[in-house]
Amino acid sequence: MDIIIDETLQEKYEKLKNYIKSLGSLAIAYSGGVDSTFLVKVAYDVLGDRVIAVTATSSTYPKRELNDAITFIKQIGAKHIVIESEELEIEGFNKNPVDRCYYCKKELFEKIWKVAKAHGIEYVADGSNFDDLNDFRPGMKAACELNVVSPLKVAGLTKEDIRKLSKELGLPTWDKPAFACLSSRIPYGERITKEKLSMIEKAEEYLLGLGFKQVRVRYHQDKLARIEIGKDEMEKFLDIKLIESVRNKFKELGFLYITLDLEGYRTGSMNLSLNLNL
């Protein structure tokens, strides 16, 4: 069924394009997710070769996401620069404090600014949307400190808005499940290691390979895996043969205990222990 863009959404879309045009040139933090893909597409349509998509590789960023990002940029023809950003080497990051994302984003934006200046680009942008204002996002502090603009927020575009517009533009990410870096699977205060990140990535890859769409494997103490899947996929999981195959695979990866979260997938479940008033 075709999605009809209402007048309000059209106004937001026009506001986004006009704002991007006023910036003149952009280096965009591009992860390949729903928001940054949409932003890169619109910015490239408006500014052409005055847009650079910058993707950072690290142990917290799955290879499948990098491959998807590279493929999309090649399809639209925009300039793409891949940089290295190993968060585990950032002072304080691997201790996994509550403001972990601040350290990560600060380093990321500093590196993107270097790319921008080297190519004569005036602004650095991220893909934060209007909904992010109601979530716990320590990375926003880094964006503010480093003068990073957020065009999607400026235009008032929500995640739902972006998905609708992405579908209208024929973007492959319009219905892509939400994604966050692999570090977000580990409870605050528990040390982040490459071993844990590798176990999480391989476990999620396995579940995705079984056909599940919305997946999180949360890593808890004593090598316990807490699996979150979309509520609409719960019934599929409750098959004894599938359960046995998941158990065997996760044991092979190094997990000692494997559990299914009965509440299913929900964004920011690791923030529940913080008792934040957002």
Within-domain flag for 3: no
204 falls within a domain: yes
Say yes or no: 19 and 54 in one domain. Answer: yes
94 and 60 Cβ atoms separated by less than 8 Å: no
Classify residue 205: in a domain, yes or no: yes
In a domain, 176, yes or no: no
Task: Quickly list DSSP for 34-47.
Answer: HHHHHHHHHHHHHH
- Looking at the fold, whether 258 and 141 belong to one and the same domain comes out as no
Same domain, 107 and 202: no
Closest CA to 254 of 215, 202, 193, 188: 202
103 part of a folded domain: yes
What length does the chain have? 278
Are the C-beta atoms of 3 and 43 separated by less than 8 Å? no
pLDDT at 201: 95
Final residue belonging to a domain, choices 148, 169, 190: 169
What is the number of structural domains in the chain?
2
Please give the pLDDT value at position 93. Answer: 83
Low-confidence ranges of the chain (pLDDT < 50): 1-2, 276-278
* Res 3: pLDDT: 52
89 Cβ contact partners less than 8 Å away, ≥ 6 residues apart: none
| CATH number of the domain bearing residue 266 | 3.30.300
Same domain, 73 and 155: yes
Please give the residue range of the domain that contains residue 30. 9-169
How far, in Å, CA of 177 to CA of 97, rounded? 26
Q: Which amino acid makes up residue 108?
A: L
- Do the domain assignments include residue 42? yes
pTM reported for the whole predicted model: 0.88
* Whether residues 68 and 89 fall in one domain: yes
Q: Which residues contact 221 (CB under 8 A, 6 or more apart)?
A: 187, 190
Q: Please check whether residues 32 and 125 belong to one and the same domain.
A: yes
What pLDDT, on the 0 to 100 scale, is given for residue 140? 83
Domain end point (choices 109, 141, 169): 169
User: pLDDT tens digit string along 139-177?
Assistant: 788 888 999 999 999 999 999 999 999 999 999 999 998
Q: Where are any strands of DSSP class E within the chain?
A: 26-29, 51-57, 79-84, 123-125, 215-220, 224-229, 257-260
Please check whether residues 154 and 20 belong to one and the same domain.
yes
Q: For residue 207, is it within any domain?
A: yes
If asked whether residues 93 and 209 sit together in one domain, one would say: no
Q: Cα separation of 251 and 243, whole Å? A: 12
- Is the same domain home to 235 and 104? no
How many secondary structure helices (H) and strands (E) does the chain include? 10, 7
What is the CATH number for 65? 3.40.50.620
The C-alpha angle with vertex 204 and arms to 176 and 192, in degrees rounded to 5, equals 110
Domain co-membership, 108 together with 229: no
pLDDT of residue 275: 57
Residues annotated as part of the active site: 181
* Domain membership flag for residue 175: no
Domain co-membership, 140 together with 228? no
User: What pLDDT does residue 88 have?
Assistant: 81
Q: Give the model's pLDDT for residue 86.
A: 77
In angstroms, the Cα distances linking 112 to 65, 106, 149, 193, 269 are 19, 10, 13, 25, 29
Residue 276: per-residue pLDDT = 47
DSSP, residue by residue, 193-227: -HHHHHHHHHHHHHHHHTT-SSEEEEEEGGGEEEE
Contact 57, 43 (CB under 8 A): no
Are 70 and 196 in the same domain? no
Residues 6+ apart with CB under 8 A from 197: 59, 60, 182, 183
